[in-house]
Structure 1
Amino acid sequence: MTVVTAFITTFMGSALNLSVPALEEQFQVSAALVGWVVTAFTLTVAAFSVPMGKLADATGRRRVLLIGIASFGVLSVLCIFSVNIWMMILFRGLQGVAASMIYATNNALLISVFPGSERGRVLGISTAATYVGLSMGPVIGGILNHRMGWQSIFAVTFFCTVLSFVLAWAGAPKTKPDPPQCRTDAAGNLLFIAMISLILYGLTNLTISRYGWLILICGLALAAAFILVEQRAEDPVIRLTMFTRDRVFAFSNLAALLNYGATFAISYLVSIYLQVVMGYSSQTAGVILICMPAVQALFSPLMGRLSDRVPPYKLASLGMGLCVAGLVMFSLLGLYTPFAWIIAAFVVEGFGFALFSSPNTNAVMSCVNKDEYSVANSILATMRTFGHSASMAIVTIVVGMGLGNAALTEAAPSQLVKTMHWCFLVFVVLCAIGTVLSLERKR
């Protein structure tokens, strides 16, 4: 059940990326407007994950998971019958809310039924399913879009959701929350949703909209207000002492934020490099890009199992160090880089991320009581989304400084390589800081 839900949510998040031209033609709108089909999903997943995690811990994870899976499937069908782009964006936003219910509960339910000695192993399997969804999403999505249209992506997702719902109904444990009743922190929930939405929107539009910086600042102001409200709340959405009194929890989440921020844009940058500099087609470039998530999926279960025997911070820190090495390799890409060097960089980066992800998740979930599993898992998911957005924001800022208004795909090969060098150098610094934070957990 957890494996299927981990797959379908990440698959749906990445499978539509190659359908943007088809959606433009279908609804006769601009690419910028179609981009909201993806953005609406990402924003709502990030904004609602923690509130849904709190709701799951308070009322029962099985119920929230089943509602999330059922809603995800129904909204997949509704997306197929969208008559205009605005309806599609609305359904995708609601689908993001449903996905946040799944994100908040799947790993929490998983580790609640296994002993602590096996937590790393089962988290490794779940992480592998996530990477399979991320890697196969663009491939399968591209094939389905080409042969049967973008609607087929939602149809396949619906059938996977039905399977997931049946498995969850039969296998998800019926647990009662302790305590069974909690006060609703309405102000904290609203502030969290607003602050995450504004910060993420501001980050992704820093160089696109002249209001990007203003929206980001408003989001940060709401973050300060959120902290003040949570300090006084009787039953806060996020117990702030999870960060202030637990060094391992705080540094593990910060390490995750920096790791995702430093690595997410690799596929974007290298895909353009492969096409503009190396001269490969988009299809060939897509196949090459599978190398990194494939390595992640292959080794994540092993690294998760290993984290049950070796202190997770050691494995996660070594993984971050390998990610730094991989980023250094990518920063050395030039006009005549051997193909073997590119593949080696992908393998090093993928292995480093597999070594980091499962053990780091194990470290986070080991810091909290079972009645806060969903919130802790949701916080980690939010860090992942923030890292993704920050990574792309760094790319847009560096590209803006180096190329002005020109797109990377329109740049001369020498300019593209130079711009990529600066992007990867920034990512090396971020990942190195994350490695230091990861090591600091031992104290």
Structure 2
Amino acid sequence: MLPHSTLPPATASSARRAALVAATLASFLTPFMGSAVNIALPVIGREFSLDAVNLGWVATAYILAAVVFLLPFGRLADIKGRRRIFISGLAVYVVVSIAITLSQSGSQLIALRVAQGIGAAMLFGTGVVVLTSVFPPAERGKVLGLNAAAVYIGLSLGPTAGGLLTGAFGWRSIFLTTAALGLFALYFIITRMKTEWQEASDERFDLKGAVVYGLALISLMLGFSELPDPDGFILIGGGAVGLIVFLLLEARTTHPILSIELFRHNPVFTLSNVATLINYSATFATGFLLSLYLQFVKGFSPAGAGLILVAQPILMASISPFAGRLADRFEPRLLASAGMALSATGLGLLIFISENTSMVYIVAALVVLGSGFGLFSSPNTSAVMGSVTRRHYGVASATLSTMRLVGQMLSLGIALLLFALIIGRVQLSPDVHAELVTSLRVAFSIFTVLCVLGVFASLPRGRGLPVNNGN
């Protein structure tokens, strides 16, 4: 593809519009499904008799698969074509969503969630880079803000729609709805987005690095769920060693899937990615944990729980476009750091949750948390994408998405670890309400500390957004 600046005005405008609509549809789709499934987890657990840890794997398997495959697919998108990987990912997502409705056991469901995560990795690794490929730097914050708003609208509608669908038609209807939305997006993309981006077609794919990276992450996450069993410590140790080996390999590879050079010589890129990792590690499991709390401890229906949880993503969706526009005018680091501080405040409020906590208090905490996250996301993404040249857009986008998903994985990993240590491998029931509440309080204490540390990672990244020369 020609750079956006060299396209005829009419063609450039059409390409930008198609890219924005396509990326926005995909950005809505995956969080909508994820947040809807969180609401349905108690129903799924009862149907398949899943204990607390295995129930967590219904959510975690999807995230883990997406993390493992995101960097490789981000790299393949630069080599083989971003549009091609984007369309393939959406097709996989649709087919697997339909297959999930036929699941007959918890193990089948978890296996298919892995396949769905692979499809999601293709989307995560290409959506943002499609936008940054066709929009000029002066408009980047605005379109990334709109893209972030689509994510948060999906998160906003997911709990309510998931609760209503589960109550009226069963949990499988969530995946059928997702498949229908995906089919519409797939038709639109195939017929209206014709441009291909393939800016590294002359480079080789780092298969060795991709394999080591994937095995290390799988070992690490399995280790979390096996603690305090000795095998858990062995798996975590093996995963940590694997990640070190991966970094050493990437430093010596001509065309790595993770550019170590970007981290070495670009403090804005490095610290913005670290801030993303910390932010998602501290916040992502909130919806998962509160969904269980509201339904098992407070006795809400899936629909009722969804209506309460919707407070957080509504604030995200409302604030992120505004924050994106501000990032085009002011220092992204200051906006993102302020958002991280707000998120820490919201998480701190949830430390005091108990069986008797009022819904007003929980909603207030979610409002503060959602406001902070909305203020953080768009400026931070703008800082990352504005700190690299066009040739590195695919790697930068995939790296940012990887930090986000690794953060989500670690957040769920902390929840699984606490369930294993405090609740044990038993089904959630009134007999373990006290243990569930204790798990939540410990988790939110850990998350608050992480978010406070994130503020200090976010502030020193630099006083201004580096100038992108467009090359």
Query: Quick one: which of 423, 428, 450 aligns to 1:430?
Result: 450
How far apart, in 2, do the equivalents of 1:437 and 1:18 lie? 33
1:345 is aligned to 365
1:182 is aligned to 203
2:61 is aligned to 40
1:439 is aligned to 459
2:190 is aligned to 169
SS of alignment partner, residue 70 of structure 1: helix
Q: Is the 8 A contact 1:206 1:393 kept in 2?
A: no
**1:392: Cα distance to partner?**
3.4
Deviates more, 1:258-267 or 1:399-408: 399-408
How far apart, in 1, do the equivalents of 2:55 and 2:154 lie? 22
1:140 is aligned to 161
Report the CA distance shift for 1:403/1:168 in structure 2 as closer, same or farther (over 3 A).
Answer: closer
Deviation per residue, 1:390-418 (Å, 9 max, x gap): 223334555666677886964566x7766
> Which residue identity does 1:292 align to in structure 2?
Q
**1:144: Cα distance to partner?**
2.2
Report the CA distance shift for 1:155/1:277 in structure 2 as closer, same or farther (over 3 A).
Answer: closer
**1:273: Cα distance to partner?**
5.2
2:13 is aligned to none
2:405 is aligned to 385
How far apart, in 2, do the equivalents of 1:88 and 1:400 lie? 21
Deviation per residue, 1:149-176 (Å, 9 max, x gap): 3332222222211111122224436244
> Which residue identity does 2:31 align to in structure 1?
T
2:254 is aligned to 234
> Which residue identity does 1:264 align to in structure 2?
F
* 1:69 lines up with 2:90 in the alignment: yes
**1:19: Cα distance to partner?**
4.2
Report the CA distance shift for 1:220/1:358 in structure 2 as closer, same or farther (over 3 A).
Answer: same
Deviates more, 1:292-301 or 1:257-266: 257-266
> TM-score, normalised on structure 2?
0.84
**1:148: Cα distance to partner?**
2.5
Q: Is the 8 A contact 2:333 2:462 kept in 1?
A: yes
Q: Is the 8 A contact 2:163 2:303 kept in 1?
A: no
How far apart, in 2, do the equivalents of 1:34 and 1:342 lie? 24
1:195 is aligned to 216
**1:372: Cα distance to partner?**
2.2
Identity %: 37
1:310 is aligned to 330
Query: Quick one: which of 122, 130, 142 aligns to 1:121?
Result: 142
Query: Quick one: which of 358, 365, 379 aligns to 1:359?
Result: 379
2:389 is aligned to 369
Report the CA distance shift for 1:350/1:191 in structure 2 as closer, same or farther (over 3 A).
Answer: same
**1:276: Cα distance to partner?**
7.0
Q: Is the 8 A contact 1:365 1:377 kept in 2?
A: yes
Q: Is the 8 A contact 1:323 1:349 kept in 2?
A: yes
Q: How does 1:257-268 map onto structure 2 within 5 Å?
A: 257-268=277-288
1:99 is aligned to 120
Deviation per residue, 1:185-233 (Å, 9 max, x gap): 11111112212222233234435x5522211111111111111211221
> TM-score, normalised on structure 1?
0.88
How far apart, in 2, do the equivalents of 1:21 and 1:376 lie? 37
Q: Is the 8 A contact 2:146 2:320 kept in 1?
A: yes
Q: Is the 8 A contact 2:39 2:291 kept in 1?
A: no
Gaps of 5+ in 1: none
Q: Is the 8 A contact 2:60 2:412 kept in 1?
A: no
Deviates more, 1:31-40 or 1:1-10: 31-40
SS of alignment partner, residue 363 of structure 1: helix
How far apart, in 2, do the equivalents of 1:316 and 1:167 lie? 34
Deviation per residue, 1:334-378 (Å, 9 max, x gap): 676554433322211111110001111111111222222222222
Gaps of 5+ in 2: 1-21, 464-471
Report the CA distance shift for 1:324/1:80 in structure 2 as closer, same or farther (over 3 A).
Answer: closer
How far apart, in 1, do the equivalents of 2:180 and 2:193 lie? 19
Q: How does 1:19-58 map onto structure 2 within 5 Å?
A: 19-20=40-41, 30-31=50-51, 36-58=57-79
1:8 is aligned to 29
Report the CA distance shift for 1:25/1:365 in structure 2 as closer, same or farther (over 3 A).
Answer: same
How far apart, in 2, do the equivalents of 1:425 and 1:185 lie? 39
> Which residue identity does 2:233 align to in structure 1?
W
How far apart, in 1, do the equivalents of 2:37 and 2:105 lie? 17
Report the CA distance shift for 1:396/1:342 in structure 2 as closer, same or farther (over 3 A).
Answer: same
Q: Is the 8 A contact 2:166 2:302 kept in 1?
A: no
SS of alignment partner, residue 211 of structure 1: helix
> Which residue identity does 1:313 align to in structure 2?
R
**1:110: Cα distance to partner?**
1.3
